Structure 1
């Protein structure tokens, strides 16, 4: 085993993904000496992280990274289409009152976007990018203070790098999360993803959510000829090797799709590789480590149903750059000031991430009704609520897109859906008076509460 000489930096960033590349660009631009480490710099091939909401686009612009969504055959996205029992409702992104232009997101192949981000980080002054696997965090003798990392090359050359601050952005399957928090992701389902070639979606330049049984299906175009399909599979994932997963998609999921999509869906199952990713919830933790910060999916996750992960990550880097700017923290050796700034960071980010996190989890519970009669009542009411248009879609999609940063708006609309669901159910069943008051009111309201309140509480208590 050979070890190279010690190298020192101001900040070490572990992981050159969404958050890591953005952080490297931000801190390097601010004049910090940055080392960005990634175990594999070849283009990643993932089935998630392919739709960036308008709020994420705005954060990219703040970081000077807006060009990274260009030149990758990406597709502009102007909102969503929700399909339920053959009916489709369009949910457009809101109009910016200042520019009078509609907000726009972007969908793309994840790997192409990542390579552009890595290129931007590499070309940023003060940033060094190395292809190395970080094996462990280095700590000061007899303390928990992180002072650097040890890393290994593919040729088994070993390195030790030192910096007063290490930012860990190693993603969903974080190696170092356990050194920061005892919380672990709560995984309820898996996304099974594949590509459908040349599929004509009902609403061009829109993400599509099919409210199917037992859980939702997502579809959005990510390049000129490729449409991503993500099927949520609750519980234990059927086996790929035995053919059980393919059979599940053909026999259970296929019949739930609109006829215009079903044929292409079944055809793609015969030729495309099926891949899966776990869908989990991990509430954020306040940073209490000395010399180390955890960001991105390593620190905070939500169900990817609403495509909010990258938007939260980029906004976190915008805030992190603000709170740890050279004006606020001249030296990263000032751990007391960093702790104060990270406490402020934790509470400020809540305005942004709470609405996105809770909306993703609550909508997933609602859309994955799985033959639960009470949830199906609420789901039916939600779809009808969207059909009303106006503020009934502007508020929810403003939250989902990262353009509205007030959690109270989420609470208002969620319970507005609950009361609307009561009204719709009363019309369907001809209920009125005491029967409606004592049965429907408490049933629907209770269902709404158990759908959203656990996630609000998880966000609030940390």
Structure 2
């Protein structure tokens, strides 16, 4: 039977699998392993409903994985909003709406069904996942802080964890050393899924994340988005803005801030938002935005990049944001996590590995996971890096500004050109060659803009003579832009494949 405990007196000490962290990946994996008959212990530092400003947009590829895991009910009864695609606004306030691809094979109906995602309050979704995990047979959930990995004194293999819970009833206080009660649990496999601020990442041989920028996020109340049921990406001279509805009356706005963060306490953040963000918002959003600046709490979190690595140590496996991160502008984090769970469902099944103490079989499982996840994780990681770099291009960088203009206008070419890129963005397609092809198609489109004299504006109409006279210089610009585009994409792809 499953059980949920805030204490340890009635909890067994020996399991098949221990999962550290009950976020999206930890809770989904706990439920999945429990259904397969694995005795699973899930440990979470705080089982209250989480309060985060990211992890609120589930792309179609993640929603499809959630359905395959039999956990789609976790998006029900949480006021989740269907998401059908993206609305993109350029720095000059031109707009284009792009939809996710048609589901294949499409029916013969007049209106063909399209892939769709979901947006919601992160905490509500995670809470539903935890409830599903808690009610799964063979799963035990315990509220406790894991502070140590236990190792065999001879082989140094990880054989379990040590954790503590506090005696005091004050939920807001950190337990002092004398208030802590330590407990030890043992299992042949310990899975580290303790998030982006993982305390065990370095100990397990994974790299440390590289900070790229920060998001400042808050909620807009009763906001009217230009294209309902779409994620909105607004390009500005400073950095992109992301908006999406997370409830009937709430819309999340995330403002990307490169470099040093303005202070929230002394009012600098509010001044920054008024000066650099407010002028670029659609008119339908302006009233809600200004009201939110006066009434809502600003939240800040780092945006980091971390290529995934193979976990070499026996007895432990690092997953989720503890293993692999990308810029959240593309909303790919939960999609990668849920597809990892889907892949592990077969790799860790009792039929595949009857005995989890079999280290040779587990090493093969880890290698299969590492290579198998590259098909989707590599595409989404590289895409997030590329799109963020282009959309956050410095106005003084002419090559990236051409790529930004080319990318935006490439999306305006029509469905036959957009289905590939938006399918990759949505985690629906997992082809590195498709990514490579469309990236260089965007680059070629940018080169055409240079040669046709439209690098500054797509609406420019220079004469043939002017284009001819500028041709030598524009050919040089094309070569530099193509080099910059290749330098943006190829090293990122290589880093993902060699990780």
TM above 0.5, yes or no, is yes
Distance 1:365 1:142 in 2: 48
Q: In the TM superposition, what is the alpha-carbon distance from 1:240 to its structure 2 partner?
A: 1.1
Q: Indicate the larger mover: 54-63 or 292-301.
A: 54-63
Q: C-alpha deviations, 1:316-372, integer Å up to 9, x for none?
A: 011112111111100101111010121111111101111111000100000001212
Q: C-alpha deviations, 1:94-150, integer Å up to 9, x for none?
A: 001224411010000000001100000000000000111111100000333100000
Seen in structure 2, the aligned counterparts of structure 1 residues 61 and 449 have a Cα distance that, compared at 3 Å, is: same
User: Equivalences for 1:262-277 in 2 at 5 Å?
Assistant: 262-277=286-301
2:88 is aligned with 1:69: no
- Look up the SS of the partner of 1:392 in the other structure: helix
Q: Indicate the larger mover: 180-189 or 290-299.
A: 180-189
2:357 is aligned with 1:324: no
Aligned residue number for residue 383 of structure 2? 359
CA contact (8 A) 2:149 2:161 kept: yes
Aligned residue number for residue 357 of structure 2? 333
Aligned residue number for residue 87 of structure 1? 94
Aligned residue number for residue 453 of structure 1? 490
Aligned residue number for residue 28 of structure 1? 34
Q: In the TM superposition, what is the alpha-carbon distance from 1:266 to its structure 2 partner?
A: 2.0
- Look up the SS of the partner of 1:187 in the other structure: strand
Q: In the TM superposition, what is the alpha-carbon distance from 1:248 to its structure 2 partner?
A: 0.6
Aligned residue number for residue 418 of structure 2? 393
Larger-Rg structure: 2
Distance 1:18 1:450 in 2: 34
Seen in structure 2, the aligned counterparts of structure 1 residues 3 and 49 have a Cα distance that, compared at 3 Å, is: closer
TM-score, structure 2 as length reference: 0.90
Q: In the TM superposition, what is the alpha-carbon distance from 1:407 to its structure 2 partner?
A: 1.0
Q: In the TM superposition, what is the alpha-carbon distance from 1:6 to its structure 2 partner?
A: 7.1
Distance 2:446 2:38 in 1: 53
Q: C-alpha deviations, 1:345-401, integer Å up to 9, x for none?
A: 111110111111100010000000121222111100111100001232111110011
User: Equivalences for 1:430-449 in 2 at 5 Å?
Assistant: 430=462, 431-432=467-468, 434-435=471-472, 438-449=475-486
Q: Indicate the larger mover: 430-439 or 50-59.
A: 430-439
- Look up the SS of the partner of 1:55 in the other structure: helix
Seen in structure 2, the aligned counterparts of structure 1 residues 3 and 396 have a Cα distance that, compared at 3 Å, is: closer
Aligned residue number for residue 165 of structure 1? 189
Q: C-alpha deviations, 1:163-217, integer Å up to 9, x for none?
A: 0000010001001001122511111100100000011000000000001121100
Seen in structure 2, the aligned counterparts of structure 1 residues 88 and 434 have a Cα distance that, compared at 3 Å, is: closer
- Look up the SS of the partner of 1:102 in the other structure: coil
- Look up the SS of the partner of 2:42 in the other structure: strand
Q: In the TM superposition, what is the alpha-carbon distance from 1:62 to its structure 2 partner?
A: 1.5
Aligned residue number for residue 376 of structure 1? 401
Distance 1:124 1:218 in 2: 36
Seen in structure 2, the aligned counterparts of structure 1 residues 420 and 3 have a Cα distance that, compared at 3 Å, is: closer
Aligned residue number for residue 128 of structure 2? 116
Q: Indicate the larger mover: 94-103 or 361-370.
A: 94-103
Q: 1:98 aligned to 79, 100, 105, which one?
A: 105
Q: In the TM superposition, what is the alpha-carbon distance from 1:261 to its structure 2 partner?
A: 2.0
Seen in structure 2, the aligned counterparts of structure 1 residues 38 and 438 have a Cα distance that, compared at 3 Å, is: same
Q: Which runs of 5+ in 1 are unaligned?
A: none
Distance 2:392 2:413 in 1: 22
2:53 is aligned with 1:41: no
Q: Indicate the larger mover: 91-100 or 156-165.
A: 91-100
- Look up the SS of the partner of 1:179 in the other structure: coil
CA contact (8 A) 2:205 2:312 kept: no
User: Equivalences for 1:117-266 in 2 at 5 Å?
Assistant: 117-155=129-167, 156-266=180-290
Q: C-alpha deviations, 1:380-427, integer Å up to 9, x for none?
A: 011110000123211111001111010111111111101101112322
Q: Indicate the larger mover: 268-277 or 438-447.
A: 438-447
CA contact (8 A) 2:245 2:252 kept: yes
Distance 1:47 1:281 in 2: 17
Q: Indicate the larger mover: 403-412 or 257-266.
A: 257-266
Q: 1:413 aligned to 431, 435, 438, which one?
A: 438
Q: In the TM superposition, what is the alpha-carbon distance from 1:264 to its structure 2 partner?
A: 2.2
- Look up the SS of the partner of 1:286 in the other structure: coil
Distance 2:8 2:448 in 1: 70
Q: In the TM superposition, what is the alpha-carbon distance from 1:436 to its structure 2 partner?
A: 5.9
Aligned residue number for residue 304 of structure 1? 328
- Look up the SS of the partner of 2:123 in the other structure: helix
CA contact (8 A) 2:451 2:474 kept: no
CA contact (8 A) 1:189 1:232 kept: yes
Q: In the TM superposition, what is the alpha-carbon distance from 1:272 to its structure 2 partner?
A: 0.5
Distance 2:325 2:61 in 1: 17
